[in-house]
Amino acid sequence: MPSCISCSKRIAPGEKTVKFPCPSCGTVTIWRCERCRLFGRTYTCPGCGFKGP
Amino acid sequence: MDTQQSDTLLLPQEVLLSAGVHIGTRVKTKDMIPFIYKVRPDGLFVLDMDKMNERVKVAAKFISRMDISRVAVASSKRYGRLPVHKFCEVTGAHPLVARFTSGTFTNPTYSHYFEPVAVIVTDALADQQIVVEATAVGVPVIALCSTDNNLSNVDLIIPINNKGRRSLAIAYWLLARQLKRELKELTPEQEFSVSIDDFESTM
Please report whether residue B4 resides in a domain. Answer: no
As a whole number, the mean pLDDT across chain B is: 92
- Cβ–Cβ of A53/B157 closer than 8 Å? yes
- Cβ–Cβ of B155/A19 closer than 8 Å? no
Give how many domains chain A has, as a whole number.
1
Residues 6+ apart with CB under 8 A from A24: A45, A48, A50, B58, B61, B62
B2 pLDDT tier (thresholds 50, 70, 90): very low
Domain, as residue range, for A35: 1-53
Global confidence as pTM: 0.93
The pLDDT score that the predictor gives to residue A52 is 86
Rounded to 10 deg, the angle between the B165-182 and B49-64 helix axes is 50
Residues 6+ apart with CB under 8 A from B119: B71, B72, B73, B74, B130, B131, B134, B139, B140, B141, B142
Chain A touched by B40 (CB under 8 Å): no
Give how many domains chain B has, as a whole number.
1
Cβ contacts of B155 on chain A, cutoff 8 Å: 18, 20, 32, 37, 52-53
Cα–Cα distance, A15 to A18 (Å, whole number): 9
Please report whether residue B106 resides in a domain. Answer: yes
Q: What percent of chain B has pLDDT over 70?
A: 96
Query: What CATH code is carried by the domain that includes residue B94?
Result: 3.40.50.10490
Domain, as residue range, for B110: 13-199
Instruction: Point out the residue among B59, B61, B150 whose CB comes nearest to the CB of A40.
Output: B150
Closest Cα in chain A to B132: A38
